[in-house]
């Protein structure tokens, strides 16, 4: 147990204080029977930052969360959170993490306050303390009015907020959010984003899984793109966007049948072959400066009529497309 | 250890607090057993000949054992629901004593089983059941019922964690336990059954517990069954509680 510690007498709780990264994962593997959910995942997150795990359904995101929250033992590899090993120090680790997921894991027949009080007491708090903390969280999440109503009368957004509140009962250092906004309406989604940003501002480390590119873009300091159980790219949102190469030029043609001619005319402007989607030709250009003028010139010479033409920063959609060779939504068909 | 006790109590409280808010469950503990007693007493009662005493005296201990065995059904349904709704994941991510979720469930069953026993006893006394027993024997009978019911709650706990849906828990539990309670001395004397069933009924723990109850409450000449019934309950507990806890540790939510 003390193998990694220079002072064998140091207790588990005292290990992993400031300085260590909040999350370190190396070579994580996990199979369910024949299905390999994780094939050697490496990750790390500094304290007080948000690590976004981005990937399509079935990519292995939830499996990573389940291993890191001690719900699942990995087949191979190691993972530690706040310096505590997820297998060896599981009991100590559970004191210091919070988990909220896409299924609001609260008891429908208990009231909001009863749910939070129960969780607090299971963290080892005495009843009055747990109740007080529950009130505090209900207030913070704008649920105080519904505190003494059974959860089955709550809306989807309210349930999700209560679930998140339950994960925060013991003021965890690291918070795991498994697709926290899946199935929420846009307004509740935005509200939840703001809440998460508030927690991070207070110093909480967050690991967040999502299949929404805009969510990762907005919340995550570092994004790990995960597909088929492997991390295929990692970096800040900007770094990832830079990887797909500069600006994106999108040309809408007057006539779809001119697409091949347009591709041939524009090809010299890009390092990769332009993409055709109906009447729209897309390519990444090397320089922003002058590229619109150049494109118009080249298309004019080739005799191709242009309906519309735009230059924009690449989005995470482009990143996903470039990394996996397919859009996020097509991933499953590809695998089948 | 104290964490196990306090966590168990928190979970038991959770299951009891929610009970009055799920009225359909409350019906299962109160109205349903009364209905069974009345149906058996008045529909079959006239046709069934029992050795000595009235059929109602014979029936009440039997139907109470059957009822108590099914008391744990709530545990199977509740745990299965918790798995599906992700609550088990939450509990497993908390610094709780591992067996507490199951121990709290089964402890709550003891309370609801006590309620069922009271309801059934009152019904029985109203329709003419009479004790031939001392106060200690009566209380001993209640204790045996609660012990046997507690053991069966762990059987249902395992069932709830194994099956894929509450509906499956319902049908598997019913198919497994219902015949067991019928191929016993609970409702008719074993001697009236065909040879194969009779052989089974004689070793069926339900027969032993039912006859032990009759020994305690209506002076049936079957004293040694009391100890056998206690041993059977403890054996069921010793086998199924560890199995259920082991299963819980590996249970995954959706």
pLDDT tens for each residue of B215-249: 999 988 877 889 999 999 999 999 999 999 999 98
List, in sequence order, every residue forming a beta bridge with A99; answer none if it has no partner: A176
- Could you say which DSSP state residue B221 is in? S
CA distance B121 to chain A (A): 30
pLDDT reported for residue A328: 55
Most confident of the ranges A4-18, A243-257, B218-232, B235-249: B235-249
pLDDT reported for residue B217: 93
Stretch B81-92: mean pLDDT, rounded?
89
To probe the interface with B, which of A63, A115, A122, A153 has the most B CB atoms within 10 Å? A122
Which residues of chain B does A101 touch, with a Cβ-Cβ cutoff of 8 Å? 86, 89
Cβ–Cβ gap B18/A94 under 8 Å: no
* Helix, strand or coil, per DSSP, at residue A88: coil
Stretch B89-113: mean pLDDT, rounded?
93
- Could you tell me where in chain A the CATH 3.30.70.980 domains are found? 245-313
Those residues of chain A whose CB sits closer than 8 Å to some CB in chain B are 66, 69-72, 91, 94-95, 97, 99, 101, 103-110, 114, 118-119, 121-124, 150, 166
Superfamily in which the A245-313 domain is placed by CATH: YebC, transcriptional regulation domain (3.30.70.980)
User: What whole-number distance in Å separates Cα of residue A260 and Cα of residue A281?
Assistant: 9
Number of neighbouring beta carbons within 10 Å of residue A327:
13
Q: Does domain A19-236 have CATH number 3.90.1330.10?
A: no
Task: Lowest mean pLDDT of A313-317, B73-77, B135-139, B243-247, name the range.
Answer: A313-317
pLDDT reported for residue B26: 78
Look at the alpha carbons of B230, B104, B86, A187 in this order and tell me if their dihedral is positive or negative. positive
H/E run at residue B150: helix B135-162
Tell me the pLDDT tens digit for each residue of A77-105: 999 999 999 999 999 999 999 999 877 68
Share above pLDDT 70 across residues of chain A, in percent, rounded to a whole number: 89
- Could you tell me where in chain A the CATH 3.40.50.300 domains are found? 19-236
pLDDT reported for residue A5: 40
Chain-centroid distance of CA B124 in Å reads: 18
pLDDT reported for residue A290: 81
Q: Tell me: pLDDT of A324 over 80.
A: no
Q: Tell me: pLDDT of A142 over 70.
A: yes
pLDDT reported for residue A3: 42
Share above pLDDT 70 across residues of chain B, in percent, rounded to a whole number: 98
Stretch B178-205: mean pLDDT, rounded?
89
ipTM: 0.88
Which residues of chain A does B7 touch, with a Cβ-Cβ cutoff of 8 Å? 122
Provide the pLDDT confidence category of residue A326 given band limits of 50, 70 and 90. low
pLDDT reported for residue A104: 67
How high does pLDDT run on average in chain A?
Answer: 85
Chain-centroid distance of CA A90 in Å reads: 24
DSSP B164-192: SSHHHHHHHHHHHHHHHHHSSTTTS-GGG
Stretch A289-312: mean pLDDT, rounded?
86
Tell me the pLDDT tens digit for each residue of A147-164: 999 999 999 889 989 999
pTM for the structure as a whole: 0.81
Cβ–Cβ gap B93/A71 under 8 Å: yes
Which residues of chain B does A126 touch, with a Cβ-Cβ cutoff of 8 Å? none
- Tokens encoding A202: 């207070």
Is residue B180 within 8 Å of residue B236, measured between CB atoms?
Answer: no
Stretch A309-336: mean pLDDT, rounded?
64
- Tokens encoding B22: 């799920």
Q: Check if B98 contacts A (Cβ < 8 Å).
A: no
User: What whole-number distance in Å separates Cα of residue A53 and Cα of residue A223?
Assistant: 6
Cβ–Cβ gap B18/A69 under 8 Å: no
pLDDT reported for residue A319: 76
CA distance B114 to chain A (A): 22
Q: Tell me: pLDDT of A8 over 50.
A: no
- Tokens encoding A241: 């966007």
Q: Check if B86 contacts A (Cβ < 8 Å).
A: yes
Q: Which residues contact A225 (CB under 8 A, 6 or more apart)?
A: A54, A55, A231, A232, A233, A234, A240, A319, A320, A323, A324
Supply the Cα-derived Rg of chain A in whole angstroms. 24
CA distance A82 to chain B (A): 15
């Amino acid at each position: 147990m003390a193998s990694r510690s220079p002072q064998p007498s140091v207790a588990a709780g005292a290990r992993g204080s400031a300085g260590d990264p909040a999350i370190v994962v190396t070579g994580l593997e996990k199979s369910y029977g024949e299905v390999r959910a994780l094939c050697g995942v490496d990750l790390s997150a500094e304290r007080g930052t948000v690590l976004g795990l981005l990937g399509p359904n079935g990519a292995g995101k939830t499996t990573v969360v389940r291993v890191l929250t001690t719900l699942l033992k990995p087949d191979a590899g190691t993972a530690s959170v706040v310096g505590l090993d997820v297998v060896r120090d599981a009991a100590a680790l559970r004191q210091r993490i919070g988990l909220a997921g896409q299924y609001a894991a609260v008891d429908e027949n208990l009231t909001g306050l009863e749910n939070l009080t129960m969780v607090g007491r299971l963290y080892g708090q005495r009843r009055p303390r747990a109740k007080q903390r529950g009130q505090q969280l209900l207030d913070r999440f704008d649920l105080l009015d519904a505190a003494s109503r059974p959860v089955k009368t709550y809306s989807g957004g309210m349930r999700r907020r209560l679930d998140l509140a339950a994960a925060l009962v013991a003021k965890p250092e690291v918070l795991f959010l498994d697709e926290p906004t899946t199935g929420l309406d846009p307004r509740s989604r935005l509200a939840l984003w703001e809440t998460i940003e508030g927690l991070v501002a207070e110093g909480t480390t967050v690991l967040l899984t999502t299949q929404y590119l805009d969510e990762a873009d907005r919340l995550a300091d570092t994004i790990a793109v995960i597909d088929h159980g492997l991390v295929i790219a990692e970096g800040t949102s900007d770094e990832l966007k830079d990887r797909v190469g500069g600006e994106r030029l999108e040309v809408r043609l007057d006539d779809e049948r001119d697409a091949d001619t347009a591709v041939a005319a524009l090809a010299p402007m890009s390092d990769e072959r332009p993409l055709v989607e109906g009447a729209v030709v897309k390519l990444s250009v090397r320089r922003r400066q002058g590229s619109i003028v150049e494109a118009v010139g080249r298309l004019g010479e080739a005799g191709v009529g242009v309906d519309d033409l735009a230059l924009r920063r690449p989005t995470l959609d482009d990143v996903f497309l470039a990394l996996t060779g397919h859009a996020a939504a097509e991933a499953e068909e590809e695998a089948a | 250890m104290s964490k196990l006790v306090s966590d168990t109590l928190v979970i038991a409280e959770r299951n009891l607090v929610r009970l009055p808010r799920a009225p359909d469950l409350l019906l299962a503990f109160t109205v349903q057993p009364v209905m069974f007693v009345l149906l058996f007493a008045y529909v079959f009662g006239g046709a069934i000949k029992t050795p000595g005493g009235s059929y109602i005296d014979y029936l009440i201990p039997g139907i109470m054992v059957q009822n108590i065995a099914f008391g744990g059904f709530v545990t199977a349904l509740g745990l299965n629901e918790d798995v599906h709704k992700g609550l088990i994941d939450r509990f497993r991510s908390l610094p709780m004593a591992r067996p507490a979720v199951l121990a709290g469930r089964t402890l709550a069953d003891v309370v609801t089983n006590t309620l069922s026993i009271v309801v059934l006893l009152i019904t029985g006394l109203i329709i003419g059941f009479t004790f031939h027993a001392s106060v200690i024997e009566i209380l001993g009978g209640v204790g045996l019922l609660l012990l046997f019911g507690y053991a069966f709650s762990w059987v249902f706990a395992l069932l709830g964690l194994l099956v894929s849906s509450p509906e499956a828990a319902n049908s598997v539990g019913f198919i497994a336990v219902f015949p067991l309670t019928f191929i016993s001395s609970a409702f008719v004397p074993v001697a009236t059954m065909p040879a194969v069933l009779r052989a089974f009924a004689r070793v069926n723990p339900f027969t032993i517990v039912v006859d032990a109850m009759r020994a305690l409450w209506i002076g049936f000449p079957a004293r040694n069954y009391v100890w056998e019934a206690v041993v059977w309950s403890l054996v069921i507990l010793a086998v199924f509680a560890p199995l259920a806890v082991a299963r819980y540790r590996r249970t995954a939510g959706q």
